Amino acid sequence: MTTPPTIRLFNTMTMQKELLQPSVPGCVGVYVCGPTVYSYIHIGNARTFTSFDVVVRYLRYRGLQVRYVRNFTDVDDKIIKAAQETGEAPVALAARYVELFREDAKALHMLEPDVAPKVSDHLPEIIGIIQKLVDKGFAYASQGDVYFSVSADKDYAKLSKRHLEDLCVGERVQPGDQKREPLDFALWKAAKPGEPAWDSPWGPGRPGWHIECSAMSAKYLGETFDIHGGALDLIFPHHENEIAQSESANGVEFAKYWMHCGFLDLEGAKMSKSLGNVVRLRDALQRVDAEALRFFFLSTHYRHPLSFSDKALADAEARMEYFYETLRKVDERLAGKDFGDGPVHGDPHRFLAEFECAMDDDFNSAGGLGALSGLFGLMNELTDKPPVKDKALVGRTLRALREDVRKVSGVLGLFEDDSSAWLLRRRERAVRERGIDVAEVERLLGERTAARAAKDFAAADRVRTTLKEKGVEIMDTPAGTSWKVAAAQG
């Protein structure tokens, strides 16, 4: 199978869009830097992982075989510090947060990667690449530590486009550091009391942060692979150091394409744990439906900044409610009916083509959602005010549109639930938030039904007005009367 000739992606290394041309035709290797498992992930992490989840889904949708690797950093200074605060063993704490991450990722409809390696399981590979760097003169041992010599790599900082002389300004070797130059970074850290440690040629210790991804990506994707992804703040120093150590050790290009996800702003301030303005994914999912949060992440191009606010979440959930209400109407219209084969009205598949065109252009999910809005608009038109009288023609067109929604769903990870079940959960959450008395609503709906049966439409209208004042909206459909909590005003 050959690569579809249309997929282009923005390469951070060259700062331009490039045609995706995998090293092995038809096969794509993707490595994404995963979580450091010392706490729950925040919504900024979740946005990044969701974005690359969609990248992988779309590559597969386009017929490519994808090997997706996303690691767990389960050996790190932050884990040791968190374990000291909780009294747990670092290994136990990391293992606990690995499982909690998997729960959160599943809740947000993320696919499991093909490989999810942990640092603690790859010490031989890590030690092996460090030894190669030492043997080639790119790294040196110093009192149990091993450092990468940045000055030995003439291409250092080619991803971030920084200059060594600028990086060195104001930098100096700190007291207690064993490195020769300020920019040199640790590949191996000598053991300290109470910290996890492994044997190595330089004595007991543990790996530095950057070396792990070089070792694990090489093991599962090869010394050169196609797409390396992560958040924008990983460009320097993490990804820069990965490139330096991998290419110095192996003598070949590390990754062909670099993709980076933009920052998520919390009402105008970039999310940062140091600033304390962090929203955990687990907490966010208590406030908003998972698919609505996923829709919110995808509503902006992955490279662009995204502002997080209560209003943005409410808007996303309202939009998902519109989508699911449309699907419920369509599913009711199609249920149990055979419209046969034959022509359809217009060109319903044009929206799927528009979606693919947007996604082919650097995985533009925002543009894809725009095409999807057109598709749902046509479905609503065909169910509410069909432009033609031929019911079979309308039914076949709705059937074609519904099938395209399923295709898009597989890419975006949306519309995966039963429409009635989703809408009921949405209503239950809104009822709790607004303090609506469901029993009273049902009683009033019963009065309205009786009034309509008696052809007392004035009384039925009075009930509708009463319910509206309580924040309840009534929908009369061929399948019966249903209700929802109206959107909050203001």
pLDDT for 430: 85
Record the tokens describing residue 434, joined without a space: 């607004």
Q: Residue 236 — left, alpha, or beta (φ > 0 → left; ψ -120 to 50 → alpha)?
A: beta
Rg from Cα positions in the chain: 27
- Residue 237's identity, in one-letter code, is P
Domains, the chain, ordered by start:
8-283 (3.40.50.620), 310-419 (1.20.120.640), 436-485 (no CATH)
Look at residue 3 in the predicted model and tell me its pLDDT.
47
**Sheet containing 225-231: order of strands:** 65-70, 27-32, 225-231, 255-261
Q: Are 394 and 346 in contact (CB under 8 A)?
A: no
The C-alpha atoms of residue 393 and residue 227 are separated, in whole angstroms, by 44
What does the pLDDT read at residue 164? 78
Could you list the beta-strand ranges (E) of 279-438. 306-308
- Identify the three-state secondary structure at position 281: helix
Neighbour-count burial for 173-210, b at 16+ CB within 10 Å, e otherwise:
eeeeebbeeebbbbbbbbbeeebbbbebebeebbbbbb
| SS3 of 404-456 | HHHHHHHHHCCCCCCHHHHHHHHHHHHHHHHCCCHHHHHHHHHHHHHHHHCCC
Chain position carrying tokens 């055979």: 338
pLDDT values of the chain reduced to their tens digit, one per residue, 490 residues: 444 568 999 999 999 999 999 999 999 999 999 999 999 999 999 999 999 999 999 999 999 999 999 999 999 999 999 999 999 999 999 999 999 999 999 999 999 999 999 999 999 999 999 999 999 999 999 999 999 999 999 999 999 998 877 776 555 556 567 889 989 999 999 999 989 999 999 999 999 999 999 999 999 999 999 999 999 999 999 999 999 999 999 999 999 999 999 999 887 666 555 545 678 999 999 889 999 999 999 999 999 999 998 899 999 999 999 999 999 999 999 998 899 999 999 999 999 999 999 999 999 999 999 999 999 999 999 999 998 889 999 999 999 999 999 999 999 999 999 999 999 998 888 888 888 888 888 898 888 989 888 988 898 889 899 888 888 888 887 777 888 888 776 5
Strands 480-485 and 472-477: antiparallel
What the block records as the tokens of 190 is 């000598």
Q: What residues have CB less than 8 Å from 164, skipping those under 6 apart?
A: 150, 151, 156, 157, 183
Which residues share a beta bridge with 477?
480
Beta-carbon neighbour count of residue 211 at 10 Å?
A: 28
